[in-house]
């Protein structure tokens, strides 16, 4: 429990630079769908595969149908308990504790270079003195699927608060 005490102390310290990076909700949905249900390369995919089958998910369904089923699964997870929904598709404002944690900056993955420069400036860090990162964490194959307009609107409805809070 000592790690939590240290984290709590840092979060309460007004001198701490507290930041996070968010991702466009539609891209997050596609990534989670890809990682959990197409390539199944997340270590908890099997648990979710068992559950989502009750919604009609089948590997041989058309991808559009399975993506709709995935959106059903997200909505039902939110209806049961939005806080205990898997963190990969839980609303980002919940993951970040918006309203509880005072962030110095919340950036977007889509503008990461610009946002990291803001964070470096806030923390008084010279980025030229940092090691270059070249390895992408959790890299997976890109899914060759684009959601329909109806699916895009559904994602906007499911993640309405994230779209508003993070100005997407």
Mean pLDDT, the chain, integer: 92
Contacts of 64 (CB under 8 A, 6+ apart): 145, 148, 151
**pLDDT at 134 (0 to 100):** 63
Long-range contacts from 9-12, C-beta under 8 angstroms, 24+ separation: 11/101
Q: Could you tell me which residue, 128 or 66, shows the higher pLDDT?
A: 66
| Nearest of 44, 78, 69, 80 to residue 162 by alpha carbon | 78
**pLDDT at 73 (0 to 100):** 98
The answer to which of 5-9, 41-45, 74-78 has the lowest mean pLDDT is: 5-9
Task: Give the confidence band of 2 by pLDDT, cuts at 50, 70, 90.
Answer: confident
Summarised one tens digit per residue, pLDDT across range 112-152 is: 999 999 999 999 999 888 777 665 666 666 777 899 999 99
**pLDDT at 122 (0 to 100):** 96
The answer to which of 8-22, 24-38, 52-66, 120-134 has the lowest mean pLDDT is: 120-134
Q: Are 94 and 76 in contact (CB under 8 A)?
A: no
**pLDDT at 137 (0 to 100):** 61
Average pLDDT over residues 7-14: 86
Domain ranges of the chain: 17-130+143-165
Q: Could you tell me which residue, 79 or 139, shows the higher pLDDT?
A: 79
Average pLDDT over residues 55-60: 96
Residues linked to residue 47 through DSSP beta bridges, in sequence order: none
Q: Could you tell me which residue, 99 or 134, shows the higher pLDDT?
A: 99
């Amino acid at each position: 429990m000592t790690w939590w005490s240290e984290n709590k102390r840092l979060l309460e310290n007004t001198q701490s630079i507290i930041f996070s990076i968010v991702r466009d909700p539609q891209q997050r949905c596609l990534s989670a769908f890809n990682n959990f249900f197409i390539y199944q390369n997340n270590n908890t995919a099997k648990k979710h595969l068992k559950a989502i089958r009750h919604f009609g998910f089948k590997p041989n369904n058309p991808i559009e149908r399975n993506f709709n089923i995935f959106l059903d699964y997200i909505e039902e997870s939110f209806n049961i308990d939005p806080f205990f929904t898997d963190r990969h598709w839980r609303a980002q404002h919940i993951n970040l504790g918006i309203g509880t944690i005072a962030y110095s900056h919340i950036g977007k993955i889509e503008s990461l270079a610009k946002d990291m420069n803001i964070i470096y400036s806030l923390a008084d860090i010279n980025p030229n003195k940092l090691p270059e990162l070249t390895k992408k964490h959790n890299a997976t194959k890109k899914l060759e699927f684009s959601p329909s307009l109806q699916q895009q609107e559904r994602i906007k409805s499911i993640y309405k608060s994230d779209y508003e809070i993070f100005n997407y």
